[in-house]
Amino acid sequence: MTVTVRSEPLPHPTTLVIHMGAGAVESLVNAAVRNYGEYRTLTPDGLGAFAVSVFAVARGVSEVEIIEALPQRSFARSTVGAVTDAGFGLLATSIADVHLAPAIAAIQHVHFDIVLPALGDARLLEVDPIDDEALEAAVRHHLAPHADRLLAVFGPRQRQ
């Protein structure tokens, strides 16, 4: 899996973004830490980004197409403006993997990562937290309240 940043302006602030799943803080943090290695080189300071995967209802991709491309049984909506107004970064990113199922490969052009506030820990310059349990714990402790705040930016969870 390789994550690439698309060089494009953010969608209009009213554009819907979909976060899949029941919205568990622990799951969100776990994903951000587990996948950090793919985001280590994406920031100029070398500290990388802890990212939360969402999809925009934009560029001809409907909400139904997004939901059907993913196996989670629930999801929630927010908007680009609500996410950025809450102080979170938003990166246009695409995941490249030859083994991606066709349905999710087809919506990578509307995939975005919400960037959680950085942990300014110099250890991240050298070490991926998946390789260091003490650093992993520090990162999880830092990210949890931000993840909680991010989830509150989304509306109520809907069942598919």
Q: Which residues bind other proteins (CB under 8 A)?
A: 1, 19-24, 27-28, 30-31, 34-35, 37-38, 53-55, 69-74, 95, 97, 99-101, 103-104, 130-133, 136
Residue 147 neighbours by CB distance under 10 Å: 25
The DSSP bridge partners found for residue 51 are 115
Tell me how far, at minimum, the Cβ of 57 lies from other proteins, in Å.
15
Measured from the CB atom, the residue of 53 and 79 that comes closer to other proteins is: 53
Tell me how far, at minimum, the Cβ of 65 lies from other proteins, in Å.
11
Tell me how far, at minimum, the Cβ of 118 lies from other proteins, in Å.
19
Query: 14: which residues sit within 8 A by CB, 6+ positions away?
Result: 79, 80, 81
Tell me how far, at minimum, the Cβ of 97 lies from other proteins, in Å.
7
Query: 100: which residues sit within 8 A by CB, 6+ positions away?
Result: 108
Measured from the CB atom, the residue of 125 and 137 that comes closer to other proteins is: 137
The DSSP bridge partners found for residue 61 are none
Measured from the CB atom, the residue of 1 and 125 that comes closer to other proteins is: 1
φ/ψ of 123, rounded to 5, equals -60, -30
CA-closest candidate to residue 56, choices 18, 91, 88? 18
